[in-house]
Amino acid sequence: MESDKNLDKKENKEEKEDQEDEIENYEILSPKHVKIDKEFKIIIIGDSGVGKTCIMNRATTGQFKDNVSATIGFEYSPFILKIKDKVIKLAIWDTCGQEAYRSLIKSFFNGSSLAVIVYAVDNEKSFSSIPEWIRQCKILCEPDTKLVLIGNKNDIPDDK
C-alpha cells in the first residue's frame, strides 16, 4: 500500500502533466476572429537595437528577419490563440527604444498585463538600463502587471 506522501507526489505529477498538455494544446487563429474571451496587453520595452521587433515578429509570425530597421514610434501586432474552448487575444506593442521617444512610450504602459524588458547580451549599456525600465514599469504600469526580462542576441558570435 502506498503511503500518503507517495500518493500526493503521484497526484502532483499527474496534475503537472495535465497542465503541460493544456499549454501544448493550442491553436493560432486569424486576427479577424470575432469572439474574444480574454485580452491581454503586452508591451516590449528596452533600449534601441536590442531586438524587440525581432522578438515580436518571431512570437507572432514564427519568422526571423535579419535586416530589421529601427522602430519609429510603435508597432502593434495582435496574436489570437485558442486554448481549449477559450479565445485569447494578445495585443503586443513593440516600442521604440530611442531616448527621444521615451515620453511617447509612457502612454503605452497603462493597462499592460505584461511588460517584456529586453536587453542585448552583447550590449552592456542596455543591461545597465534595466533598473530604469523596471522603475518606469513600477511608476506607469498597473500594480499587478507582470515583468519578464529577456537577454537577447545570445546567438550572435562573440567578436571580442
Residue ranges of the domains in the chain? Answer: 28-152
* Rg of the chain (C-alpha set): 19
pLDDT in tens, 27-69: 666 666 568 889 899 898 998 888 888 888 777 766 656 665 5
Residues in the chain: 160
86-95 vs 114-120, strand pairing mode: unpaired
Write out 29-94 in H/E/C secondary structure: ECCCCCCCCEEEEEEEEECCCCCHHHHHHHHHHCCCCCCCCCCCCEEEEEEEEEECCEEEEEEEEE
Nearest to 38 by CA among 80, 75, 92, 84: 80
Predicted confidence at residue 111, as pLDDT, reads 87
Predicted confidence at residue 81, as pLDDT, reads 82
Hey, which CATH number is domain 28-152, 3.90.1150.10, 3.40.190.10, 3.40.50.300, 3.40.50.2300? 3.40.50.300
Ranges in the chain, pLDDT < 50: 160
Predicted confidence at residue 59, as pLDDT, reads 75
Specify the DSSP class assigned to residue 143: T
Nearest to 129 by CA among 45, 43, 47: 47
Specify the DSSP class assigned to residue 113: S
